[in-house]
Amino acid sequence: MDYVSALVPPVVMAVFFTGLIVTIVKSQGGANKAKEDAVVDAALARAENTRQASRNTDA
């Protein structure tokens, strides 16, 4: 029975890892992709505006 207790942790980790990969792949694209892209674009634009504003006040 030692072999069973030795094999259980890797098998459990493999199952959870496979579930994680499937979840990640399923969440890519689809209806949420445009919303996620818009959030990232807004954050990048905000960061760029902040950087330009700090550059203008330093000069």
- Residue 44: predicted pLDDT: 93
- Residue 43: predicted pLDDT: 94
Identify the residue whose tokens are 């792949």: 25
Q: 28 in the Ramachandran plot: left (φ > 0), alpha (ψ -120 to 50) or beta? A: beta
Q: Measured at the alpha carbon of residue 37, what is the angle toward residues 35 and 39, in degrees to the nearest 5?
A: 70
- Residue 28: predicted pLDDT: 79
Q: Which structure tokens are listed for 43? A: 């954050």
- Residue 58: predicted pLDDT: 66
Q: What is the pLDDT along the chain (59 residues), one digit of tens a residue?
A: 788 889 999 999 999 999 999 998 887 777 777 888 889 999 999 999 988 887 777 65
Quick check: pTM over 0.85?
no
State residue 28 phi and psi, 5-degree precision. Answer: -80, 135
